Structure 1
Amino acid sequence: MLDNVITFRKADAVLEFPTFDGDKAGDIWFQFKTTAMDGVMIHNTGETENDFIQIRMINGDTIQFRYNVGNGIQVLEYKTINGLDNDIWHTVHVERNRKQTWLRVDNFPEVVFNEQQVHHVLIKLT
């Protein structure tokens, strides 16, 4: 769990990663610990101004996965009972495929959004 630990000493610090390649399916998994109440953990924009994915913490107790693949913003949100800004390690796992998008925080049950079966829109990030 402690391999490749990164410490941010400024509120506007940024770490750049390669573009998330999840046009048809993909997942993001990471661990964090913080005392901050709010923050954007991952943000990746797409080919158009409407396409993006974002994982953020709100009010110290909620993880939110927001994304738009050109057909409107979808939001999956998990609010914890004990908070996330308690300086202990937490796990976030997000997955999107042709049928579902889901968000899991720690070992709690996932929040699931069933994608429209009419067509699957690809995420095209840059």
Structure 2
Amino acid sequence: MEAEPLHKRALDIARSTTGPGHPTAAYSLHGLAVLAQARGRFDEAETLFREALGINERAHGNRHPEVASCLNSLAALLQARGSYDEAEILFTRALEVDEACFGLEHPRVAAGLHNLAALLQAQGKHEEADRLQR
């Protein structure tokens, strides 16, 4: 069985049982977005990532790990599309959330530092990237 119909079914169930603004719906939207991105449907993926992000922000507030996950996914998509400035803002926000939630020495923080440093390197901001990698 294909993944997309399963994600869509999960989204339909989440929306009908918990409501369209519930984090369960955001989880399904995020899965659909990842799949759309993998299939090269970047506009669709961006829309789905943004919808999942909005649900998680409304449900959890701006300083929650699920929000950081959505920010990272959306930022990675934007980076791949060449929207570096917005990707940098989102990677930075995600890193700040993860630092606040998990502390400075957590593996998610390390991953966030790597994401942001790689983006800065891609933009030619080598000194800023070097500072993050130390």
- Higher percent of residues as strand: 1
Which fold has the larger relative contact order, with Cα–Cα distance below 8 Å and residues 6 or more apart in sequence?
1
- Higher percent of residues as helix: 2
**Rg: which structure is higher?**
2
